[in-house]
Structure formats: C-alpha cells, structure tokens
Amino acid sequence: MSENEKLTEERIFEAAEIVFEEEGLAGARMQTIADRAGINKALLHYYFRTKDHLFEAVFTKLAKKMFMKFTPIFEKDLSLEEKIRFFFREHITFMQQNPKLPGFILNEINHNPQRIQKLIKNIDFKYLWLTILEHHENELYKYNLTEETLPQILTSIASMSVFPFAAKGILEVVFENLGVDFDKYIELRKEFAADFVIKAITR
C-alpha cells in the first residue's frame, strides 16, 4: 500500500528527471512525463500539485547531485596536485554517466538565477577557500595562487571539465567532421585537463 505508493511516486519522479533534463522546464510536457512513468496525467497532480512543484523537486535534487561532486575536494587529505587530478577523474566520470546534466543546470539557472541562490546562499565560500589556502599553506610557494587569481583558477578548472558536456551538441558535430570520437576525447580529458591546469598554475 504505502509501498506501492512509494513506487508510483518514485516512478513519476524518475520520469520527470529524464524529461526535464532532456527538454527543460519550458519544453517539458506533463503528458510526456505521465507516459514515461506509465501512469495518468491526473496522478502527476495528485502527487506533485503543479508542474512547477514537480520541477522544483527535480531541479533541487539534480543540482545537489551535481554540486556535491565538488565538495570532496575540500575534505580529502591530498596534496593540491593530487586533489586536482582526483577532481577531474571523479567529476568527468560522473558527467559521463549524466552527460545532459551540466547543460540542463546551467540553462535553468540562467533562466532563473534565484533558483540556485536558494540552494547555496547559506554556503560561506569565502571561509571555504581561505580554509583551502590555509590547509595547503606549505605548498603555495609552488603555485601561483593568490586571493586575486583564485576565482580565475577555480573557474578555469570548472570550465575544463564542464564545458565539453555543456557543448556536447556542437563538439560531436565538429568531431565527426574531424574523425575524433567524443567518448575517447572525454576519456583522455581526465588526465589532459589535470596536466594542463597543473602546468598552468605552477610557478
């Protein structure tokens, strides 16, 4: 009974994840979600009152899933170089399994920045990265890390891993023309990006 209910709600939610990720909020249709969940449109509203509610739930879960992948960096007890290598390996592997997620998240946030604001407003980034700098104090002489370059470097790291997926649609077309295989390119990128960044920031 409650087991069955749980199953239905779960099935709806999973269908919604796929459809929203594929079509975006504006492009997604409740009918499409219902069809994919194998149930009736009315049931969607029974479980999640409105389209916006359903989207909100899906978006929050997917956004957290995405950003959680960034946090282990701050905790692991590794050297800075090892952290960078660890990040690219883990994060790119994650996106291999969720290739449409980056584009979806970026796009929905651009359409409604306040969505992400709610999720991260209580994170103190300033404190967070001062902690990083402190924790790696004895390595800093090797790298060109300052309060001023840090935003540049961190966004460079993010861009190196996220961009290929956010631009997957274009890259696949260009790569086909070049005889390059997207999946192999991605596999290579895990190490290439790490080497690239480390080289760039080493004094």
Partner DNA sequence: GTCTATAGAAGGATAGAC
Partner DNA sequence: GTCTATCCTTCTATAGAC
Q: Which amino acid, one-letter code, is at 47? A: Y
Binding mask 19-48 for DNA (x = CB under 7 A): ---------xxxx-------xxxxx-xx--
Q: Which of 53, 39, 28, 158 is nearest to 106 (CA)?
A: 158
Number of residues counted as binding a copy of itself (CB under 8 A): 58
Q: How far apart are CA 47 and CA 92, in angstroms?
A: 34
Binding mask 109-148 for a copy of itself (x = CB under 8 A): xxx-x--xx--xx-xxxx--x------------------x
Q: Decide if 109 contacts 166 (C-beta within 8 A).
A: no
Q: Decide if 78 contacts 89 (C-beta within 8 A).
A: no
- Minimum distance from CB of 16 to DNA (Å)? 11
Nearer to a copy of itself (CB atom), residue 73 or residue 158 = 158
Site residues (CB under 8 A) for a copy of itself, limited to 58-117: 100, 103, 106-107, 109-111, 113, 116-117
Number of residues counted as binding DNA (CB under 7 A): 19
* Contacting residues for 124 by C-beta, under 8 A, at least 6 apart: none
- Residue 179's region, left for phi above 0, alpha for psi from -120 to 50, else beta, is left
Pick from DNA, a copy of itself, none: which does 113 bind, CB < 5 to 8 A by kind? a copy of itself
Taking CB under 8 A as the rule, does residue 7 contact a copy of itself?
Answer: no
Nearer to DNA (CB atom), residue 16 or residue 186 = 16
Sole window of 7-15, 17-25, 45-53, 54-62 interacting with a copy of itself (rule: CB under 8 A): 17-25
Bridge partners (DSSP) of residue 202 are 143
Q: How far apart are CA 173 and CA 125, in angstroms?
A: 37
Q: How far apart are CA 162 and CA 156, in angstroms?
A: 10
Residues forming the site for DNA (CB under 7 A): 1, 4-5, 8, 28-31, 39-43, 45-46, 49-52
